Amino acid sequence: MHFTTPLSSLASASAFFFAYAQASYLHNELSFGHQDRISPNLRAIPNWHLIGKPDPPEILSNKLVLTPPAPGNQRAAIWSEKPLQHQYWAVDVDFRATGPERAGGNLQMWYVKDGQNAVGTSSIYTVGRFDGLVLVVDQYAGSAGYIRAFLNDGTTDYANHRSIDSLAFGHCEYSFRNLGRPSRVAIQQSSTGFKVSVDGHLCFESNKVKLPLGNNFGITAASADNPDSFEVFKFVTTTESHTPDIQDPAQQGSQQILGSEMHGRAEDKPKGDIPAYSDPPDEAASKYTSSNEQFADLHNRLQSMMKQISASTRDATHFSTQMQKTTELLAERLARIEASLGELHSLRERIDAIQADVRQTKSDLHNQLDRHVANIQGEVRNTHTNLTGKLEEGSGIGKFIVVVVGSQVVLVGAYLLYKRRKTGNHMKYL
């Protein structure tokens, strides 16, 4: 089979863009801690701004100490100087919290507009109005630890809200204090939705959250009177594309929560996963007389082709993700079935062994009972023989009768003699 030149170019471009969409690029200007040292001079972190009240954060060779072990009531923050201009991205944050038994504090990871000025060193309970996302790590409601996510479009004043905890749209339990190792929180915004993982395990995810471009990353921490020490080892930002994306005007200003309205719009679209784009109409080549017209037509057609390729890539990525999840689920279920079969086989072997033991015990009991009965019969037989011999050797029944009758005669004679003597005695009177 031979392809024409345009079709071959289209296939090559498709493969290139598919591989390009799957790539992950490190964003150095929005990352720190991924190299040997956090800071080249231990005084500042390139492309990041540090804030602390009353004391600034302490920069060490391999970590940033936001709140020290002592004293308490400290607030600190680190903010990126440049905003993120990519639609799909992922962030990995390695942190550690240590402190005495009843210490307290919280850590926030922000993706908000103008975070340094709008948030500063505030926590979720003191921030006021902000535009973006925040993940909160604290001991919510007296628990061992929680990770909760909050959204705001700049209209809700969190500092004056009556029930901030009720505004969380996602959460999971996570005991983060005194683990003796860094904890890793992974935040991902992809074409399939928003996802948060902790130590490689899914915390929560949502396909209704889409964050805008142009926000700043930041981390804030606050300690109580009995303080927890929060340390950050790494903040790594990766994107799916190397070049910045063009900001959609409809996304300017705040994140979009894809609710019922977006669901209704999706139902109005044509069926199928690939969006319907209007292709440029076919025109005769003689219509384009100048190079500018030819270039414009070529540009429009290439742009339409790129949109189709991009849509196909997104659908392929989504399908691949769904297939991977399904495969993992099937593999997990098969593993459980195999484990259950193994347990059944082991149980069958145990039952067979128990049956063999019961049979052996039954046989031993029967043998012992037979021997015992035989011994009793032998003893009875010997006793009967000995008793018969003794009776034969002893006196007969006649002698026994003579002895009995003779003793009776002697008793009667003695009685008569006694009566006669009593009758023959004369009574004496005074």
Segment 237-269, tens digit of pLDDT: 999 888 888 654 444 444 444 433 333 333 343
Is the pTM here over 0.75, yes or no? no
Q: Is 137 left (phi over 0), alpha (psi -120 to 50) or beta?
A: beta
Model pLDDT, residue 422: 82
Model pLDDT, residue 310: 84
Model pLDDT, residue 301: 80
C-alpha span between 121 and 114 (Å, rounded): 13
Q: Is the pLDDT of residue 99 over 80?
A: yes
Grade residue 291 by pLDDT with cuts at 50, 70 and 90: confident
Lowest mean pLDDT among 29-43, 155-169, 249-263: 249-263
Model pLDDT, residue 253: 46
Q: What is the mean pLDDT of residues 377-396?
A: 80
- For residue 363, give the amino acid letter: S
> Which pLDDT tens digit goes with each residue over 340-354?
888 888 888 889 999
Q: Where are the alpha helices (DSSP H) in 222-290?
A: 260-268
Q: Which tops the pLDDT comparison, 303 or 273?
A: 303
DSSP-derived secondary structure letter, 330 = H
Grade residue 116 by pLDDT with cuts at 50, 70 and 90: very high
Lowest mean pLDDT among 60-74, 144-158, 383-397: 383-397
Model pLDDT, residue 274: 36
Residue 325 in contact with residue 195, Cβ under 8 Å?
Answer: no
End-to-end, the C-alpha distance of the chain in Å comes to 172
Which residue is listed with tokens 């079935």? 337
C-alpha span between 187 and 151 (Å, rounded): 14
Lowest mean pLDDT among 70-84, 95-109, 291-305: 291-305
Buried b (16+ CB within 10 A) or exposed e, 122-132: bbbeebeebbb
